[in-house]
Amino acid sequence: MAGTTSFERGLMILSEIADGGDTTVESVALKLGIPVSTTYRYFRQLREHGFVQEDAGSYRPGHALLALSGRHLTQSHLAEVGTAVLKSIVDAVGETAVMVIRVGTQAMCLRRAEPDKGFKYTFAVNELLPLTAGAGPRTLLAWAPADVVRQVLDGELPRFTDNSPSAEQILATLSQIRTNGWVVSRGELDPGAVSVAVPVIFDGEAVCAINVAGPESRCGSRSWLNSTLKTMNEAAENLAASLGSLASQRTTREASDDARYSA
């Protein structure tokens, strides 16, 4: 790392955090060839200014970095419209629907809607779960950066039920998930549950997953899966289109600001 300025090292560290999700000081120092003591000083300053947040020695993007990368705006929009999107799915399929986002190496339930007969699905709003079990989390893992996939699968995978998949099983399915564009899981988080998820793809990234879950007795047939996937894919396409419209409005606004300031 000889010859680089302090500013350049800071930018390189920020880039690693933004791309990799959850990480440690030691792993960033090793990858960039910066002394661990020096890297700690950078992380401390970045944390003080909101660019990273720490959880038991692990670091992930903070609110300031999310805002710079545009993810904050995207997630704010998803949170704003998520409940309405999920309620429309619930009205159509009659089962619990959740919107899941990736937070570093974990999945978080951003929004949830359920019918009166709602299956008591494990995933609660704001709860963090691994990316390895359940259709929604595994959808996000399939579209995650390679570093995130490696970090997740190299770690210890929790087993919620006998059907929770192993690292080898997960790795063997990720390519097929991206090809199919959807995931079905059976009893991986809750015994007797069927879960199906599709990604919402925007700007080449899976910004969230839409997940529907219910009991095998109601959701085990192929016809239910086909009709539910049709509803979910329509919702995902509409949500991606709304994000595109939001980005376009932001670009127009920024161009207008630039023109005004340069006048």
Distance between CA atoms of residues 263 and 260, nearest Å: 5
Indicate whether 61 pLDDT > 50. Answer: yes
DSSP 3-state helix, strand, coil percentages of the chain (rounded to 5)? 55, 20, 25
In the chain, ranges of CATH 3.30.450.40 domains: 70-249
CA 120 to chain centre: 22
Residue keyed to tokens 């805002």: 67
What distance separates the 2 farthest-apart alpha carbons in the chain? Answer: 66
Within a 10 A sphere around the Cβ of 262, how many other Cβ atoms?
A: 6
> At 212, which amino acid appears?
V
Residue keyed to tokens 């109601």: 218
CATH node for 6-68: 1.10.10.10
In the chain, ranges of CATH 1.10.10.10 domains: 6-68
Q: How far is CA 29 from CA 56, 84, 112, in A?
A: 18, 43, 39
Residue keyed to tokens 């560290």: 13
Per-residue model confidence as pLDDT tens digits over 184-229:
999 998 899 999 999 999 988 899 999 999 999 999 899 999 999 9
Per-residue pLDDT band at 76 (split at 50, 70, 90): confident
> At 141, which amino acid appears?
L
pTM over 0.75: no
Per-residue model confidence as pLDDT tens digits over 93-122:
999 999 999 988 889 888 899 887 655 666
3-state DSSP assignment of residue 144 = coil
Per-residue model confidence as pLDDT tens digits over 123-156:
677 788 899 999 999 999 999 999 899 999 998 8
Beta strands in the chain (DSSP E): 52-55, 58-61, 96-103, 106-113, 128-130, 183-186, 193-202, 205-215
CATH node for 70-249: 3.30.450.40
